[in-house]
A = this chain, B = another copy of it.
Amino acid sequence: MSEPGAAGPSPAAIQVSRIMRPDDANIAGNVHGGTILKMIEEAGAIISTRHCNSQAGEPSVAALARVERTDFLSPMCIGEVANVSAEITYTSRHSVEVQVNVMSENILTGAKKVTNKATLWYVPLSLKNVNKVLEVPPIQYARKEQEDEGKKRYEEQKLDRLETKQRNGDVILPVINPEPHTVGYSQSSLIHLVGPSDCTLLGFVHGGVTMKLMDEVAGIVAARHCKTNIVTASVDAINFHEKIKKGCVITVSGRMTFTSNKSMEIEVFVDADPFVDEPRERYRAVSAFFTYVSLSKEGKPLPVPQLLTETEDEKRRFEEGKGRYLQTKAKRQAQMQQAAQQ
């Protein structure tokens, strides 16, 4: 089986390394998934913007359009070095696929572990007119199959983006005196005023900044539910349909949708409120599902209290979450069998 980009790093590959600081982690010392997602996205933004401007023409800034589902395979700790490497693995007429690998490295022992692998899709927007999508210079493939496989991934994500329901009408309503382990008990939201350092050259929020805030809220929901140390286990595919401008207030809200024996699924909504100098109403910018596990002090997954669903909607969402959970489990088993046969 050929991995994408197996032909070796292209000249355009980049590598970003950074020591993980206490502020990057929870009190148990595990680095937040959101910190890693932000590093991944920054690497992707650099490499795709560089590529899109590699030929003479109108200058552009690559904006994050989509992140494929990513699993956090092993926790990273304070003091370890996060090594993020990114390369472009496919280009369509208007989009760039970037594959990013993250390794944690204990520089005291030399131990290295794969933390996660992610695939991101970027679209070049004109620096002069943010609503104009420009053309992407094609990359060269070492082998024809690489192009074909890339095209297949491109078509799949395109289909998925069309299907995505933004759950636009869905809002998270507060509950008075909720019982422990109900949905209302752990649901949480934060607001954030978008500052200059959150934004790209175009003055719109970096996708990575948004994902970091989403992980922050989802992590609080998970910890409120199980009252133990929790870590991000995976993030479902996220589509960035709507841009968020500098000066907006972002409201990020999360609610638990499903629990298995050892995992919790949290749905997160991001709403943007232009609220100063803008005719536009508050709008839904992104939504996504995050999965968390609870870890013991030895790093072993702990059982999770079952989510108590009360309303019809909560029960329906629980069943939908169960569906996603079983589908992912089946997919993973199929991959393991396939790997074993090779």
Which residues of B lie under 8 Å from residue A197 when comparing CB positions? 21-23, 195-197
- Shortest Cβ gap from A211 to chain B (Å): 16
Check A220 against B107 for contact (C-beta < 8 Å): yes
Which residues of B lie under 8 Å from residue A107 when comparing CB positions? 46, 49-50, 53, 220, 223-224, 227
- Shortest Cβ gap from A22 to chain B (Å): 4
- Interface stretch, picked from A185-193, A260-268, A305-313, A318-326, is A185-193
Which residues of B lie under 8 Å from residue A273 when comparing CB positions? 50, 224
Which residues of B lie under 8 Å from residue A16 when comparing CB positions? 15-18, 190-191
Check A216 against B19 for contact (C-beta < 8 Å): yes
Given contacts A81-B220, A109-B227, A176-B173, contact A42 B193 (CB under 8 A): yes
Check A276 against B18 for contact (C-beta < 8 Å): no
Nearest B residue to A275 via CB reads: B50
**Taking the complex as formed, is A156 at the interface, i.e. its CB lies under 8 A from any CB of chain B?**
no
- Shortest Cβ gap from A36 to chain B (Å): 15
Check B19 against A22 for contact (C-beta < 8 Å): no
Contact residues of A between 194 and 253, Cβ < 8 Å to B: 195-197, 201, 216-217, 219-220, 223-224, 227-229, 246-247, 249
Q: Knowing that A23-B197, A81-B188, A107-B227 touch, tell me 14 more A-B residue pairs with CB under 8 angstroms.
A: A15-B16, A17-B190, A19-B219, A21-B22, A21-B23, A27-B246, A27-B247, A46-B191, A46-B275, A49-B108, A107-B223, A107-B224, A108-B127, A191-B220
**Can you identify 18 A-B contacts, CB atoms within 8 angstroms?**
A15-B189, A18-B42, A19-B216, A19-B220, A21-B22, A26-B193, A49-B108, A50-B81, A50-B273, A50-B275, A59-B277, A107-B224, A127-B277, A173-B174, A193-B219, A201-B277, A220-B249, A223-B275
Residues of A within 8 A of B (CB): 9, 14-19, 21-23, 26-27, 42-43, 45-46, 49-50, 53-54, 59-61, 78-79, 81, 105, 107-110, 127, 173-174, 176, 180, 188-193, 195-197, 201, 216-217, 219-220, 223-224, 227-229, 246-247, 249, 273, 275-277
